[in-house]
Structure 1
Amino acid sequence: MRANGRRVWAFGDDTWDGLLPNAFDRASFYPSFDVKDLDTVDRGAVAGMEEALAAPGQWDVAVAHFLGVDHCGHTYAVDHASMHAKLRWTDEVVEAAAAKLAQGQHGRALLIVMGDHGQTMTGDHGGQTPEETNSVLVAAVFGDEGQEEEEGVVALDGKLLTRAARGDCGARTSGNWTDGCLPIMPQLDFAATLALMMGVPVPFSSLGAVSADLWALAHPADRPGV
């Protein structure tokens, strides 16, 4: 992104700095391996996200990587009061970000909330089961003030090169989601789709394809039948 002139901010999990040093125009990272610490990285991610939301026009991509749910799974497992509290808190953070974007100060904006992996009921995510490798992606597009918001959700499939049949599941928009029936997007497709949505080349080594569901969310005129 940055090599193509996009201004990138990132906050939270310091894995980003280890993988992509000097790739960000502004960043604040925090140690990520203390699994008993449920809050330090998350608070830093929120502070960075609030800074970005208060600075319209100063960035093109902002990443806030939270770890509290991940660490809570390791420390307490999934069905625990601490996990329930952390999920409620995370919901509130996302709602606040969406409300800020809906005010229109950032113009046309895309909010993506996604997990980089799943976890078992015991909090493990070593990659042995679908519960560990699969995740979910929720996206919302905000237009200029007064324009209608568009929302969508897809399941992220961790199996390499698998583009599962959607059956009767089409792109879901506001008010039309069906429980247990979501479009499936291979994780490989995310980078390719986001690159094109941002107007930069698809990474040379990417094997991903463009997700029709995610693309149509930001480009409603491209939906089938429109």
Structure 2
Amino acid sequence: MPGKRTDYLALRGGAEVIEADGHGEKVLRLPDGSYLKVFRRKRLLSSAAWYPYAQRFVDNAASLARLGVPCPRVIHVHRFPIIRRDVVHYHPLPGITLRQIVRDAGPETDAPALRARLGRFVAELHGLGIFFRSIHLGNIVLGESCRLGLIDIADMKIGSRPLSRFKRKRNFAHLLRYREDRAWLLADGGKAFAEAYALQAGTGYAAPDLQAWLDATDGAER
């Protein structure tokens, strides 16, 4: 049953705001360590009107879990029409984002090995039919078991077959959309990432071709 504004205030009681923008709170951490992801309902004439992003988050979490890809665990989804918000309550994915690792990198950080790990992971996602539009170093987490996983998973499509070459190339552009991510990933010309991706992807994907894809991708926009 849709909740009231007072229900939302009760739900987020004692929370720490982790992320916000000009429209309000976006991500909050509750005292028990669980999180709230707040989705603002925007235009009436959009796909979000019939398939809200909160529900996409929930559905994608379930699909990723079935595929064995680490991701947040959903507790509940709440609707608050009076304030035009949907809220997903979830357990976060333990670990640290690759972006944080890169920013805090010390001399002991093995950057080539991390790029290779990322290449294998992205190839694995593509082989599973996962097209993650929000893929970037801030949404990929290195977990406690040294496995990579995904967060902020609302903007994603999961198909029944591996991605086409066209979609893989498009997803590389999403991965390289931020300047700092691009600079780090291509510091070696994309060699470590491309070689690992090619090895994981198998027949039809050669490392030199993948490096050319990366180099040709104009993703440094943000």
TM norm. shorter chain > 0.5: no
**TM-score, normalized by length of structure 2?**
0.27
Judging by fraction of residues, say which structure has more helix: 2
Which has more radius of gyration?
Answer: 2
